Amino acid sequence: MAAVSFAVIALVAVGAALGLVLKKNPIHGALFLVANLGSIAALYLMMGLEFLAFAQVIVYAGAIMVLFVFAIMVLIPGKEETGPDPKRRYRILAVPLGALLLLEVILVIAARRAAGPPPAAAPAGGGVEAIARLLFTDYLFPFELTSVLLLAAMVGVLLLARRRRGGAAPGAPEGTLE
Amino acid sequence: MIPDTWYLALSAVLFTIGVVGVVVRRNPLVIFMSIELALNAANLALVAFGQRHGNFDGQALVLFVMAVAAAEVAVGLAIIVAIFRVRERLSVDDLSLLRW
């Protein structure tokens, strides 16, 4: 039963990922990515990690994808990939190279599996309490750094997205546009 | 109970699709979304390894990856919008210079 549901979810995830890469319209790509993120959240739920699953849905499928959809709407979708691809020959190379990369990663996993049986440990479960304890003890410094990073990103985005009046904004020399 | 090797294999497939998407596509937004896909594949691998060893470190790392991905997306999209304001075309083949 678990294997069947894993297979279905994995199929949805891989299909959505392929849809993201193959579809021309970025809006369709965004919807495929939402499907992919949702299926990975379902996988977390299958592993019993409720907290991660909900964080995945809220942060990724919620916040990040809304940002993406906003950006796509601002940027007039579908205008940039029309017309023949001047570098098509090189891009086709990506498929065998990607297959090679996949083979390599699979080999690494297989080698790891052959190296020995996994340590006999009970799966950790998804308790919020245990994760919070870890975050506020062992990972306290990176956890606080994360807040600094988010603040820096916010300030940077405000600076970048500000509409420049008369081209006289600091950091953007006049007359050099285009 | 699903063996963790299955999760790792799925993670490998998703990561490869993400990398190929970064190389193949011309629209910077789709390239960004492919990067998100690859990050998620890495998250899945982290969680699978965390389950294998029976501790919570993998899950904590996934939370950090989520936070960094959120910051990265915000800054990256702002840069793309800023570039789009200056030049009306949006293809990575045209963006070979750091200044515009």
Q: Which residue has the tokens 């990050």?
A: B39
Q: What is the distance in angstroms between the CA of the first residue and the CA of the last residue of chain A?
A: 60
* Predicted local confidence at residue A123, as pLDDT: 64
* Predicted local confidence at residue A78, as pLDDT: 53
Helices (H), chain A: 2-22, 26-46, 50-55, 65-74, 88-92, 94-115, 128-136, 140-161
Q: Does position A178 have pLDDT exceeding 50, yes or no?
A: no
Yes or no: say if A32 and A72 are a contact pair by the CB < 8 Å rule: no
Q: What is the distance in angstroms between the CA of the first residue and the CA of the last residue of chain B?
A: 54
Average pLDDT over residues B7-24: 92
Yes or no: say if A13 and B14 are a contact pair by the CB < 8 Å rule: yes
- CB neighbour list of residue B23: distance below 8 Å, 6 or more residues apart: A91, A94, A97, A98
pTM of the model: 0.86
In whole angstroms, what is the distance from residue B100 CA to residue B92 CA?
13
Contact A14 B99 (CB under 8 A): no
Return the structure tokens found at A175: 């007359």
In a domain, B21, yes or no: no
Q: Does position A171 have pLDDT exceeding 60, yes or no?
A: no
Total tally of structural domains belonging to chain B: 1
Nearest chain A CA: its distance from B97 CA (Å): 11
Helices (H), chain B: 4-24, 28-53, 57-86
Q: State pLDDT tens for residues B46-90.
A: 999 888 888 888 899 999 999 999 999 999 999 888 888 777 777
Q: Average pLDDT over chain B, rounded to whole?
A: 86
**Residue B94 forms contact with A (CB below 8 Å):** no
Yes or no: say if A161 and B75 are a contact pair by the CB < 8 Å rule: no
* Predicted local confidence at residue A174, as pLDDT: 43
Return the structure tokens found at A44: 């977390």
**How far from A6 is each of A61, B6, B22, CA to CA, in Å?**
20, 9, 27
Could you say which DSSP state residue A24 is in? S
Helix (H) or strand (E) holding A76: none
Measured between CB atoms, which of A59, A109, A124 is closest to B66?
A59
Q: Which residue has the tokens 């409720």?
A: A50
Could you say which DSSP state residue A116 is in? -
Could you say which DSSP state residue A122 is in? -
Average pLDDT over residues A18-22: 92
* Predicted local confidence at residue A43, as pLDDT: 93
Q: Which range of residues forms the domain containing residue B58?
A: 26-91
CATH number at residue B66: 1.10.287.3510
**How far from B54 is each of A4, A23, B49, B57, B71, CA to CA, in Å?**
24, 39, 8, 9, 29
* Predicted local confidence at residue B66, as pLDDT: 93
Chain A residues in contact with B74 by the CB 8 A cut-off are: 67, 153-154, 157
* Predicted local confidence at residue A150, as pLDDT: 94
| Chain B, nearest residue to A103 by Cα | B12
In a domain, B53, yes or no: yes
In a domain, B81, yes or no: yes
Contact B36 A119 (CB under 8 A): no
Regarding an ipTM greater than 0.95, the answer is: no
The dihedral formed by the CA atoms of A123, A124, A126 and A129, expressed in degrees to the nearest 10: 160
Considering the domain A1-78, what is its CATH architecture?
Up-down Bundle (1.20)
Q: Average pLDDT over chain A, rounded to whole?
A: 82
**3-class SS at A4?**
helix
In a domain, B82, yes or no: yes
Average pLDDT over residues A60-87: 77
